[in-house]
Structure 1
Amino acid sequence: MDYKQHIKDLTNRPVSKELAFAESEYRLRIEKVRKVMDERGLDVLLVTYVPDLSYLSGYQSFGSGWYSCMVLPREGEPILHMHGLEIGPAMLTSWVKDIRGVPWSYNDGVAVGLAEILKERRLEGQRIGIWTKRPGLSIDLYEGLKRALPDATLVDASDVVAQPRMVKSPAELEYMRSSAQITMKALDAVLPVIKAGMTDNQIAAVIYQTLVNEGSEYFSTQPIVSAGQRNCFGHTTFRRTPIQAGDTVALEFGAAYQRYTSAIFHTVAIGKPSSLIQKRARVINETIDLLLRAVKPGCTAHDVAREIGAGMDEISAVPSSSRVYGYSIGLGLPPTWGEDIYFIREGIELELKPGMTFHSPLSVRVPGTPGIGFSETWVVTETGCEILTLHDRELTVVEA
């Protein structure tokens, strides 16, 4: 089989596109990225971090762990170089016309094929930006590029696309509002059904069903339901655990709408909570309230963290200097909705600007005591912030 001819035949077929945004918005993003490239003296970018690639090309797929790369020169049209299984999703969801593929068994072909594209564009001896600090660039690919392009200068460009991604467009914010609406419907659906005797899987099933029924796509982060001993630790989720009196149940989830997520974190107490749990819930929510009042365009992430940090010192052993009060959220593909671009934390001198979006999950988890946490997803506005997931954050208590 002539694989290259097969790909050519496949990509030459007319396809009804499923673009999340107008092509003009993607091209505006390309222009912004190229300005950063000019500042860094980069001749071409090899975008291997899938969320950044999606931001520029529109490409969406649950197979985001497969190899994919956008070749973005300072001039001319970009090229997508994809694992063969991802050509179909790229054709459907991306505006980029030039899509090249590599076979399923591509162990030796990725770096060589990518180098051939660069040589075709006469970029083999130039300053090439690569994503050394993000998932997607394997050691094998990096070493292969060095062998195939001995005259090239490989430069870390891991934050080049992150700069334009920081501030969301009006269209992006509308997708996040749509996500928030679906997320809130799932919270409203699940809270009344939680009771002692059921399992964390049964709780998760209600969240999954509601999110999907209401219009969510496949999730960037799977819904989290954590109870019992497992709720003493972060990043644990449902595992057939029976819900018992005295437990707290942590719920953290968010609908995906055109790959944009507005997430929420809420806690349910099974039976009357102890005074310790009540205090933790109160302090966490008071801190979130302080955070949302402190946010103003022009202030820095450091300023906000310093202003609100004292309250959590009552209930958390994590020093205020290293505590995170929010992280960037928006466009995501599995396994995470977090953008990993910026954080609300001391020492981060990032100026807050209208259109920046954050998820602020605050929690206390101490082994031997029930875990607890709450959050909101919000966007910086011209005057402060808009809470996208506005809801009653009071600790939900159900009968044991």
Structure 2
Amino acid sequence: MDNDQFYKIRTSSPASKELAFPEAEFRHRVEEVRKVMDEEGLDAFLITYPPNLSYLSGYQSFGSCWYMCIILPREGEPILHMAHLEVGPALLTSWVSDIRGVRWAEGGEADRLVGIVKERKLEGKRIGVELKRPGLTIDLYEGLKRGLPGATFVDASEVIAQPRMIKSSAELDYMRQAARITKKGLDAVLPVIKPGVTDNQIAATLYETMVREGSEFFSTQPIVAAGHRSGIVHATFKRTPLQRGDTVILEFGAAYQRYTSAIYHTVAIGKPSSGVEKQAKVINEALNVLFRAVKPGRTIHDVAREVSISLKEVWPEPSVYGYSIGSGAPPTWCEDLCYIREGNELELKPGMTFHSPIGELVPGTPGVGFSETWAVTETGCEILTLHDTTLTVVDA
């Protein structure tokens, strides 16, 4: 079967829909994005960053490394253009009716996309592209400029950030479901951690428990860093047996309709050193300061400043105390829309959601870190993953 036959069968066969939200919610998102497009003077927006594309279209797949684009004009229906191999998942999960494929292994995406832009009579218009996001390759961008010499291309990397940061009630419900599953993973894994067990066995428990409890494929794979690896950011399981005196860093989050609520936790094998105990205490105090400081209308800078002050004795330099989290696609659950740091003057608003991993990870020393995933409410803060964030100590 050649590619053309494959594509025709994909698009002509009736497919049951598995939309994560009612079509009306997706259309509301489109209208919110169009409001920002109007403010920026955009006639069209080419969305190539997979999580943003999923947010608008509903499309779900782990194939986020392949070409995909939504052509969103200021008026009219959007077009979903993607590797033809992914047309099936799009038909299943997206509300967009005009889905078009391009042969995934042969290239030519730019030429085909240029043709769609011309079909919509947008070739001389002001077109937004996501220059600062993964998804828009240099080859694709150069092909667009070459094929549309009369168009004005504008960096629109932040256009979707504004509406996407504010979660709807349905999105928050999915994050609560993800949090429930994540906490099941923590409950299941803590009794497994003991000397002689490998970090792979710990990771296997997390995978098995969260998938059994309802998680889909993860946006970020579970992180389990033990022993000398615990002090290295983003080191993870690699057949390392646990020993007395180790700390074990756990960071993981279940996915529910692509929404993640993550936890960051530390376990000590045997009596921890005074340094580890102190770090755990300081980090927990900082998290409590953060949660008390969160109020709608406050700037992120003000909240981050309070946390920095609480940590000044041990960490003289300000840091980042969280990032926006919600819908995601591999390899990360981080939405990369907003960071809790000094200098960020964005106001907190109800519906914003964050993951706040605060830790001390230095190569050559035991790692320590804790977190919660939380949402801004009308009055303060709802901790979605609420659990015991004190240092877990197991007998050795």
Is TM more than 0.5 here? yes
Q: How far off is 1:369 after superposition?
A: 1.6
8 Å CA contact 1:316, 1:364 repeated in 2: no
2:77 alignment counterpart: 77
2:389 alignment counterpart: 393
Q: TM-score, normalized by length of structure 1?
A: 0.97
Deviations 1:100-152 (A, max 9, x none): 11113232x10000000011110111111001000000000011111111111
Say whether 1:168 aligns with 2:174. Answer: no
2:203 alignment counterpart: 204
Q: How far off is 1:251 after superposition?
A: 0.5
Say whether 1:135 aligns with 2:134. Answer: yes
**Cα distance in 2, alignment partners of residues 329 and 31 from structure 1:** 22
1:106 alignment counterpart: 106
**Cα distance in 2, alignment partners of residues 139 and 211 from structure 1:** 38
8 Å CA contact 1:200, 1:240 repeated in 2: yes
**Cα distance in 2, alignment partners of residues 4 and 40 from structure 1:** 39
2:61 alignment counterpart: 61
1:296 alignment counterpart: 295
How many matched pairs? Answer: 396
Q: How far off is 1:345 after superposition?
A: 0.6
**Cα distance in 2, alignment partners of residues 247 and 331 from structure 1:** 34
1:21 alignment counterpart: 21
Structure 2 residue identity aligned to 1:330: G
Can you give the 5+ residue segments of structure 1 that lack an aligned partner in the other structure?
none
**Cα distance in 2, alignment partners of residues 361 and 268 from structure 1:** 15
Say whether 1:50 aligns with 2:46. Answer: no
Q: TM-score, normalized by length of structure 2?
A: 0.98
Question: What SS does structure 1 have at the residue aligned with 2:312?
Answer: helix
Q: How far off is 1:199 after superposition?
A: 0.5
**Cα distance in 2, alignment partners of residues 130 and 106 from structure 1:** 23
Say whether 1:183 aligns with 2:179. Answer: no
**Cα distance in 2, alignment partners of residues 329 and 221 from structure 1:** 12
Question: What SS does structure 2 have at the residue aligned with 1:347?
Answer: coil
8 Å CA contact 1:19, 1:58 repeated in 2: yes
Structure 2 residue identity aligned to 1:308: V
Structure 1 residue identity aligned to 2:343: G
**Cα distance in 2, alignment partners of residues 9 and 196 from structure 1:** 55
Map residues 272-287 of structure 1 onto 2, 5 A cutoff. 272-287=271-286
Map residues 1-400 of structure 1 onto 2, 5 A cutoff. 3=3, 6-107=6-107, 109-316=108-315, 319-320=317-318, 323-400=319-396
Question: What SS does structure 2 have at the residue aligned with 1:309?
Answer: helix
Q: How far off is 1:9 after superposition?
A: 4.3
User: Could you say if the C-alpha distance between residues 345 and 131 of structure 1 is closer, same or farther in structure 2, counting changes exceeding 3 Å?
Assistant: same
8 Å CA contact 2:289, 2:310 repeated in 1: no
8 Å CA contact 2:226, 2:248 repeated in 1: yes
User: Could you say if the C-alpha distance between residues 212 and 258 of structure 1 is closer, same or farther in structure 2, counting changes exceeding 3 Å?
Assistant: same
Greater than 4 Å deviation, 4+ residue runs = 1-6
**Cα distance in 1, alignment partners of residues 229 and 173 from structure 2:** 35
Structure 2 residue identity aligned to 1:87: V
8 Å CA contact 1:18, 1:92 repeated in 2: yes
Question: What SS does structure 2 have at the residue aligned with 1:178?
Answer: helix
User: Could you say if the C-alpha distance between residues 6 and 124 of structure 1 is closer, same or farther in structure 2, counting changes exceeding 3 Å?
Assistant: farther
**Cα distance in 2, alignment partners of residues 245 and 67 from structure 1:** 48
8 Å CA contact 1:353, 1:381 repeated in 2: yes
**Cα distance in 2, alignment partners of residues 329 and 175 from structure 1:** 12
Q: How far off is 1:232 after superposition?
A: 1.1
Deviations 1:234-277 (A, max 9, x none): 01100001111111000000000000000000000001001110
Question: What SS does structure 2 have at the residue aligned with 1:45?
Answer: strand
**Cα distance in 2, alignment partners of residues 223 and 3 from structure 1:** 36
Q: How far off is 1:310 after superposition?
A: 1.9
Can you give the 5+ residue segments of structure 2 that lack an aligned partner in the other structure?
none
**Cα distance in 1, alignment partners of residues 370 and 2 from structure 2:** 55
Identity of aligned residues (%): 70
Q: How far off is 1:159 after superposition?
A: 0.7
